[in-house]
Amino acid sequence: MALGVGCSAPPGRALENKTGAWRVFKPVFDPETCNRCGTCAQVCPEGCVHETEEGTFEPDLDYCKGCGICEEVCPKESIRMEKEEK
């Protein structure tokens, strides 16, 4: 593939980098206690918390770095960070 003139590139290529591999802790979302406020999705620095069809939320583990912000902000304590077994 030819070099992008002037060191340029079209959108989308960052998605090739699956940052989920960085993770030590994994977020576990409990749809039972979720109040569907959407804060977790709003404040994830990766933008990788997505709404399910039921209106609850789940992480995209391909990109989740396991930072724990979602656990900290959830008003219902419905997200827990767990050490990931690899």
Partner 1 sequence: MMEIMEGSHAVAEIVKRCRPQVISAYPITPQTHIVEALAQMVADCELDAEYITVESEFSALSACLGASAAGSRVYSATTSQGLALMFEVCFNVAGMRQPIVMTIANRSLGAPLSIWNDQQDSISLRDSGWLQFYAEDNQEIADLHMIAYRVCEDHDVLLPAFVCFDGFILSHTYEPVDLPSQEEVDAYLPAFTPYHRLDAEAPLSMGMYATPEYYMEFRYEVDRAMHRAKETFIRAGREFGEQFGRDYSAFVEGYRLDDADVALVAMGSICGTAKDAIDEMRDAGKKVGLLKIRTFRPFPGPEIAEALKSVSTVAVLDKNISFGSGGAVGTEVKAALYGSGAAVYDYIIALGGRDVRKRDIAAVVDLAEKGKGDLFYGLRTEVL
Partner 2 sequence: MAKVEQEHELFTAGHRACGGCGPALAARLLLKATGKNVIIAASTGCMEVFSTPYPETAWGVPWIHSLFENVAAVASGIEASLKKQGRSEKVVCIAGDGATFDIGVLCISGAFERGHDITYVCYDNEAYMNTGIQRSGATPYGASTTTTPTGACAPGGNPLPKKDMPAILAAHGAPYVATASIAYPNDFVKKVRRAINTPGPCYIQVHTPCCTGWGFESGETLAMAKLAIETGLWVNYEMVNGVVEKAKKVRRKPVEEYLSRQKRFRHLFRPARQDDEIAKIQAIADANAERFGIDIKVKEPAE
Helix (H) or strand (E) holding 50: strand 49-51
In the complex, minimum distance from the CB of residue 28 to partner 1, in angstroms, rounded to a whole number: 35
Residue of 31, 24, 41, 21 whose CA lies nearest to 82: 24
Distance CA 85, CA 54 (A): 28
Return the one option of partner 1, partner 2, none that residue 21 interacts with (CB less than 5 to 8 A, by type): none
Q: What is the pattern of x (binds partner 1, CB under 8 A) and - over residues 4-43?
A: xxxxxxxx--------------------------------
Q: Which amino acid is at 76?
A: K
Return the one option of partner 1, partner 2, none that residue 5 interacts with (CB less than 5 to 8 A, by type): partner 1
